[in-house]
């Protein structure tokens, strides 16, 4: 089997397109396409399907992808050892996290990571959707739910806590609501148009109606900006709120909202040193008392 064909398959699966893979491999897109097609012909399977503008591995491609990753990692280690650079850690690592985590927690962690491993380039995938690590939508993911796929590796992090907050200007105008009963008389920011946000608040003891929602956004970074501009009460992680000026904890008679944190990756963690380095730094920094 031609390693060039396997490498073309691996890079296309990781990049999501022939053009991006061709740039990474420094070859023309038609040449790369011919190599992928040659591998498909040799194996007798279709490795990719087009989804919108991107290419995604088929079930057959996914079944072969982990083997190709292991071969790619072994080839990288072989090359480094041959050139006397076996201790060098470099390459791309993508990390998927929610918009709030990506904005408020990851930047200082990435800065510390660059000090320790300057050869690693981190791509942050800011999304509130759960990344499919098996389809290589990311190398590492931060999630609020434990993965149930047996081929994923996960580590439980300390729980995060959140509370209800408003701007000091909003509190000066509307008073300081402290109880769940007080909440019904005030405006809230955030959520969605189909009632999921209201159901979420009800599960935490806050009974609201549609009329209580003054401004809607499913992006928590936008929501936090709206709270700071005095448009109502919003929910935010406590240690983010603690570093935001002119913000007041409200509904403080309610217990904190606690949610679990999981750091998840695929089994390439065992063979790709760059992923191991990023995973370990994230685990260390996100487990620290002050993130």
> Domain extents for the chain?
3-82, 91-159+260-286, 161-257
Q: What pLDDT does 79 receive?
A: 65
Mean pLDDT of 155-183: 95
pLDDT at 242 over 70: yes
Judge whether residue 272 has pLDDT over 90: no
Give burial (CB, 10 Å; 0-12/13-18/19+) of 232: buried
In angstroms, the Cα distances linking 246 to 53, 243, 252, 273 are 44, 10, 16, 43
Per-residue pLDDT at 136: 66
Candidates 58, 75, 61, 93; CA nearest to 7 is 75
Q: Which CATH number fits domain 3-82: 1.10.10.10, 2.60.40.10, 1.20.1560.10, 1.20.1600.10?
A: 1.10.10.10
pLDDT grade, residue 90 (50/70/90)? confident
Rounded percentage of the chain residues whose pLDDT exceeds 90: 53
Q: Look at 112 and 150; give whichever has higher pLDDT.
A: 112
pLDDT at position 3 is: 84
Give the DSSP H/E element, type plus range, for residue 148.
none
Contact in structure between 102 and 114 (CB atoms under 8 Å): no
Q: Taking the domain 91-159+260-286, which CATH number applies?
A: 3.40.190.10
Give the residue with greater pLDDT, 241 vs 77.
Answer: 241
CATH topology of domain 161-257: D-Maltodextrin-Binding Protein; domain 2 (3.40.190)
Is the pLDDT reported for residue 77 higher than 80?
no
Distance CA 78, CA 95 (A): 26
Model confidence over 176-213: pLDDT tens digits? 999 999 999 999 998 888 888 899 888 888 998 889 99
């Amino acid at each position: 089997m031609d390693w060039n064909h396997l490498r073309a398959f691996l890079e296309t699966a990781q990049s999501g397109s022939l053009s991006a893979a061709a740039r990474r491999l420094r070859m023309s897109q038609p040449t790369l396409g011919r190599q992928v097609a040659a591998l498909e012909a040799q194996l007798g399977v279709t490795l990719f399907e087009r989804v919108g503008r991107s290419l995604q591995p088929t079930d057959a491609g996914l079944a072969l992808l982990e083997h190709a990753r292991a071969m790619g990692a072994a080839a990288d280690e072989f090359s480094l050892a041959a050139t006397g650079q076996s201790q060098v850690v470099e390459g791309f690592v993508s990390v998927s996290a929610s918009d709030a985590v990506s904005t408020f927690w990851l930047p200082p962690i990435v800065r510390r990571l660059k000090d320790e491993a300057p050869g690693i380039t981190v791509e942050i995938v800011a999304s509130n959707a759960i990344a499919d690590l098996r389809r290589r939508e990311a190398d590492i993911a931060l999630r609020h739910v434990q993965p149930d796929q047996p081929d994923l590796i996960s580590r439980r992090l300390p729980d995060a806590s959140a509370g209800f907050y408003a701007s000091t200007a909003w509190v000066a105008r509307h008073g300081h609501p402290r109880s769940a009963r007080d909440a019904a008389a005030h405006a809230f920011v955030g959520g969605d148009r189909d009632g999921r946000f209201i159901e979420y608040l009800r599960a935490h003891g806050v009974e609201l109606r549609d009329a209580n929602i003054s401004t809607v956004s499913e992006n928590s970074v936008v929501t936090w900006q709206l709270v700071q501009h005095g448009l109502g009460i919003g929910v935010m992680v406590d240690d983010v709120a603690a570093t935001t000026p002119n913000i007041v904890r409200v509904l403080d008679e309610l217990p904190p909202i606690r949610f679990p944190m999981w750091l998840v990756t695929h089994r390439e963690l065992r063979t790709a040193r760059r992923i191991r380095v990023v995973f370990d730094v994230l685990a260390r920094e996100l487990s620290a008392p002050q993130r």
